[in-house]
Structure 1
C-alpha cells in the first residue's frame, strides 16, 4: 500500500508542476472570470458615449415615434432631428460631426422607406435596431390605411398561448424538464472533456515512462497492477484539483453576483431548484465513467513505447466517447426513444445516456440499478483484463501501436 501511495503522489505532483497544467488551469480560471464579467469587459472596450444619429424625416411624421421606440430598444442610440439637406448631412458624417444619417421618405404606396449613411457600415447593431423599429411603424401605417385598429394589430402579434401538460402522473413538468436539461447538458460536456483530457494524460504518462526506460525500474519494485491504479487515482486527484478550483471560483462568483444571476443564465442551466438526487446521480455516473475510460486509457497507453503513438492508440476510446456524446445530444430532444434507451445499457455509453434519461425522465429505479450493475461489472472486468495487458504491455518496447499487441501483452503477463 505504501508503494501505491508513492506512485500515486509522484504521478500527481509530476503532472501538477508541469507548465501545461498550470497554464491551462490559469487560462480556464481567467475564462470563467471573463465569462462572469463579460458585460463589464464589453463595456470597457466599447466606444464611450451614445451614438448620435441624425434623422432627416422629409415626411415630418415618423421621427417622434421612431425616437421613442429606438430609445426604449437601445439606450446607447441617440436620434436627433436634422433639418438641413441630405448632402450637408453626408458631409457631417464624413467629417465625423455625427455618427450616421438616416433619411426617411415615402414610397409609391405612401409607406415609409429609409436610407442609412455612415462612414463604416460593418457594425450593424444600430442599423438593425432602427430598421426593426421603423418596420413596426410601417406595419402600423399600412394597417391604419387598411382600416385595421391598433388593438387588432396587438392581438395578431401577441404570442399564441401554448401549454404542455403531461397526463402521466410520474412524468416531469415543463419546469422540471428545463431544470434537468441544463444540468444534464453541463454534465455531458464535463464528462466528455474530462475523459478526453485526463484519459489522454494517463496514456501519455505511461508511454513517457516507457520511452525513458523508467518503467523498467518501476516494474522491479512496484507491481504493474499497483502502478496502473496508482496512476489512475493520481490523475483523478489532479482532475479533482482542477475541477475543485473551478467550482470554488464559480461558487465565489455566484455568491458575489447572486442578484445578477437570478433569472438569468444561472436559472437557465437549471441549477436553482434542481433535486439533490439528480446531483448525486451526476457524481455517481461521472466517477464511474471516469474509472471506466481511465482504466481503458492506461491499458492502451501501456501498449506503446513512444508518446508519438499515444494518439493513434487511444483513438478508439475517443471515438467511443464521441459516439456517446452525440447520441446524448440527440437524446436531449428524444430521451425516451428506443435507440437512446437501448444505448443507455451499453457500458461505454451508460455514464452519459443513463444520466440523461434519469435527468429528463422519471424511470423505474431498477433500470438505473441494472445499468449501474452492468457498468460496475464492466469496470471490474476491464480492470482485470487491463491489469494483465498493462503488466505485459509495460515490458514491450519497439515501434508498435497496433491493437494486435493485446495478445502479446497478455502472453508476457502470464510469464511474469
Structure 2
C-alpha cells in the first residue's frame, strides 16, 4: 500500500508544481474574476451617449407620438428637413448614427425605413421598431375606438398553470433548481474528462517514453500503479477546481451577488447532491481507467491524442444527448441511453434530477456502471502491465491483445 501512496504522491506533486498547471490556473482565475464583474467591465467601456438618429417625417404627424414612445431609451431622435440624399451622406460621414424615414401605409398606419452606415448594430433599430410597433397599436386602437382599459385587457396574458398529477413529481421551482445543478454536473464531468483524462494518458506515456516504467512495473503492482496515477491526477483536478470555486465565490461576493441564490441551489434535497457526487466519481473513474490503459499502449507522447480521440467523442456524444435531455428527460431515447455505462453518469443523473425515476432503474444503472468499471479495471490492469513494456507503432486492438499476452508470461 505504501507503493500506491508513493505513486499517487509523486503524480500529484509533479503535476501540481508543473508550470502548465500554475499558468493555466492563474489565467483561469483571472477569467473567472472578469466574468464575475462582467457587468461593471461592460459599463466601464460602454459610452453613455445615446445613438443620434435623424428623422424625416413624410406624414407630418408621426414624429411627435414616436418621441413619446421612445423616451428614456438609448436613442435620441432629431427631426430634420433635409433632403433624403443629403441626410444619407451625413450618415455616411458620421454626423448621424442613423436615418429614419417615416411614412404611412394605405390604412394610415406608420411604416419606416432605417438607414445606417452598417447594420451590425441591432440595438438601435430594434428599439425604434419596438417604439413604432407600440405607436401602430395605439393608432389602431384609436381607429377602432378602444379605450385604454380595453387595450390592457386585450393584451393581458392568458392564465396558464402547469399541474403535475404524480404525487412525487417536482414543482416548477424544484425543476428550475435541479436544472442548474444538472447542468453544472454535466459541464464539470465533460471538462474533467477532456482536461484531466488526457493528462492521465499523457502522464503514463511520458514515463513510458523515458523507460521509467520498466523499473516501476518490476517493483509496483499494476493495480496500485494504475490507481496511483488516476487518484493522483484526480487530486490535481480537485485542487484546481477548489481554487476556481474559492476565486469564483469570492469574486461574486465582492461584486455584491448572493451566490447560493444566484445558483438557485438553496432548496434542493440532500439526495440530489449525493447522487451528483456518486455519478461524478463513478464517471470519472470509468473514463480515467480507459485513458490510463490507452496511455500505456503508446510509446511516444505525440501518439496519445489520436488514440484517446474515440473516448473523447464518446464523452461529447453523451454531453450532446444530455443537452437534448434537459428539455425531454422522459423521452424513450434518453431513458434507453441512460443505461449505457459510458452515458449513465450524465444521463441517469439528469433523469434523477428532473423526473421521478423508479428505484430499480437507479439500482440497475449503478450495477451496470460499477460492473463495467470492475471489468475495465480487471482487463485494464492486465493491458496496463503489458502495455507499458511495449514500444513501436500503435494498433489499439492488436496492442491490447499483445499486452495481455505479455502479462501472462
Cα deviation for residue 218 of structure 1 reads 2.2
Task: Tell me the distance in 2 between the aligned counterparts of 1:147 and 1:394.
Answer: 86
Match of 2:102 among 94, 101, 104: 104
Cα deviation for residue 260 of structure 1 reads 7.1
1:296 and 2:255 are equivalent in the alignment: no
Task: Tell me the distance in 2 between the aligned counterparts of 1:100 and 1:41.
Answer: 27
Tell me if structure 1 keeps the 8 A contact 2:53–2:76: yes
CA pair 197-262 structure 1, distance change in 2 beyond 3 A: closer
Which residue is 1:125 aligned to?
123
CA pair 108-262 structure 1, distance change in 2 beyond 3 A: farther
1:82 and 2:76 are equivalent in the alignment: no
Cα deviation for residue 219 of structure 1 reads 2.3
- CA-based RMSD: 2.5
Which residue is 1:31 aligned to?
31
Tell me if structure 1 keeps the 8 A contact 2:205–2:296: yes
User: Per the alignment, in what secondary structure is the counterpart of residue 12 of structure 2?
Assistant: helix
Tell me if structure 2 keeps the 8 A contact 1:8–1:230: yes
Which residue is 1:346 aligned to?
340
TM-score (norm 1): 0.89
Match of 2:191 among 193, 203, 225: 193
Which residue is 1:175 aligned to?
173
Which residue is 2:404 aligned to?
410
Task: Tell me the distance in 2 between the aligned counterparts of 1:405 and 1:117.
Answer: 66
Tell me if structure 2 keeps the 8 A contact 1:104–1:114: yes
User: Per the alignment, in what secondary structure is the counterpart of residue 197 of structure 1?
Assistant: helix
CA pair 41-258 structure 1, distance change in 2 beyond 3 A: closer
1:206 and 2:204 are equivalent in the alignment: yes
Task: Tell me the distance in 2 between the aligned counterparts of 1:78 and 1:13.
Answer: 61
Which residue is 1:239 aligned to?
237
Which residue is 2:51 aligned to?
51
Cα deviation for residue 65 of structure 1 reads 3.5
Cα deviation for residue 89 of structure 1 reads 5.1
Task: Tell me the distance in 1 between the aligned counterparts of 2:111 and 2:159.
Answer: 34
Tell me if structure 1 keeps the 8 A contact 2:253–2:259: no
Q: How does 1:135-150 map to 2 (within 5 A)?
A: 135-150=133-148
Which deviates further from its counterpart, 136-145 or 61-70?
A: 61-70
CA pair 333-95 structure 1, distance change in 2 beyond 3 A: closer
Cα deviation for residue 100 of structure 1 reads 3.4
Match of 1:372 among 360, 366, 377: 366
Which residue is 2:265 aligned to?
271
Task: Tell me the distance in 1 between the aligned counterparts of 2:258 and 2:235.
Answer: 33
TM-score (norm 2): 0.90
Runs (4+) of structure 1 moved beyond 6 Å?
A: 260-263
CA pair 21-139 structure 1, distance change in 2 beyond 3 A: same
Which residue is 2:301 aligned to?
307
- Structure with bigger RCO (C-alpha 8 Å, 6+ apart): 2
Cα deviation for residue 313 of structure 1 reads 2.0
Which residue is 1:165 aligned to?
163
Which residue is 1:254 aligned to?
252
